[in-house]
Amino acid sequence: MPHEDGTVTAASYDNEAAKQFCDDAEAYGLEIEHYHGRFNWEGPAVRVDGFGSFKSAVPMQHDNMGLGYIVYPVEPAPLAETVE
């Protein structure tokens, strides 16, 4: 679940791949959002100008949004019920 201020961080997820993705995104200084994508996928995501401009330790996929890309882990990760 998002924090009270609406932000999403590694603590927002129970899934280890999602937590690693969030940690990697934070290291790049990227804002993390909870994304609902195609094929009922949901989990953490970041928006970037180019697909190769963000690297993570977890396998990723992307959607081209016309003016950039939204990048997210291959493994879906619903929000945790509680946030630490």
pLDDT of residue 46: 94
Mean per-residue pLDDT pooled into runs of 10, the chain (84 residues): 73 89 94 84 89 88 85 81 56
Contact indicator for 45, 31 with CB cutoff of 8 Å: no
pLDDT of residue 37: 78
Distance CA 22, CA 43 (A): 10
Ramachandran region of residue 20, left (φ > 0), alpha (ψ -120 to 50) or beta?
alpha
pLDDT of residue 2: 62
pLDDT of residue 44: 92
pLDDT of residue 6: 66
